[in-house]
Amino acid sequence: MNMLRSFIKLFDKVQKIGTMKDSITTGLLGGLIGTILMDLSNMVLYKIKKSEVTYGHIAGQFFVSPFRTKQRKNLILGELLHLAVGSVSGIPLLYMLKKTGKDHYLSKGLVTSMLTWGILYSGGQKVGLFKRLRLTKTHYSSVCNNTIYGLSAAKALVMLADPTIFASSNKINNGVSMQAKNDATSSDIVGVCNQFDQSLSSYVGYH
């Protein structure tokens, strides 16, 4: 319940920021917001023992050995790296929304976050970037955390991005729709003309 209140308060503050026209800045800020909410979820699950590590522990292994990530100074270093990676991940998500349009943005954010989870989390363990995690509940917690990241980052990006950022994709979609309508109209006209020719031929032949 406290975590839900934190989510609501954070998005209230996001609304007060206003919209931005710069894609890179918007992507970074949206990614950062998603990462903060992701970390809140991760910390709650870690405290109630539904996860064996935090993302600070995982990212800290890029700098020090796994057993040293429990030291506060190394945990903070890992957390900073995690926030940086999460922020940068917001940029490709924004460009994907620009390319495809912001309709169904939550679904697109969810799919993107699951792909990121598969590459960084699962792939990272297999290639030895960080220590392989043992408990199944940790993996489920990670899925939950990444789901929160995808949904919240996509929501933040749509709230922060100026409408002109998505204007190009809307023009493309509108252009495709108009082209489809024109093609359909042309087909109807051709069909009517063919029917008229057939009727005229039949009439002439009859007389």
**Residues 91-145: pLDDT tens digits?**
999 999 999 988 899 999 999 999 988 888 877 777 777 788 889 999 999 999 9
- DSSP per-residue letters across 93-133: HHHHHHHH-STTHHHHHHHHHHHHIIIIIIHHHHTTSSPPP
Q: Do residues 37 and 92 share a domain? A: yes
Q: Do residues 198 and 174 share a domain? A: yes
Q: How many domains does the chain have?
A: 2
**Residues 150-189: pLDDT tens digits?**
999 999 999 898 888 886 554 544 444 455 455 545 555 5
Q: Do residues 54 and 133 share a domain? A: yes
Q: Do residues 14 and 61 share a domain? A: yes
Q: By CB neighbour count within 10 A (0-12 exposed, 13-18 middle, 19+ buried), where does 47 fall?
A: exposed
Q: Do residues 103 and 177 share a domain? A: no
The full length of the chain comes to 207
Q: Do residues 10 and 108 share a domain? A: yes
Q: Do residues 108 and 53 share a domain? A: yes
Q: Do residues 86 and 186 share a domain? A: no
**Residues 14-40: pLDDT tens digits?**
666 778 888 999 999 999 999 999 999
Residue 49 binned pLDDT confidence (cut-offs 50, 70, 90):
very high
Residue with tokens 């700098």: 63
Tell me the backbone φ, ψ of residue 161, rounded to 5 degrees: -75, 135
Q: Find the domain containing 9 and state its range.
A: 2-161
pLDDT number for residue 187: 55
Q: Do residues 109 and 90 share a domain? A: yes
Q: Do residues 23 and 118 share a domain? A: yes
DSSP at 129: S
C-alpha–C-alpha distance, residues 122 and 126, integer Å: 7
Residue with tokens 């993302």: 55
Q: Do residues 83 and 133 share a domain? A: yes
pLDDT number for residue 132: 82
User: What integer best gives the mean pLDDT of the chain?
Assistant: 81
pLDDT number for residue 153: 94
pLDDT number for residue 127: 76
Q: Do residues 62 and 30 share a domain? A: yes
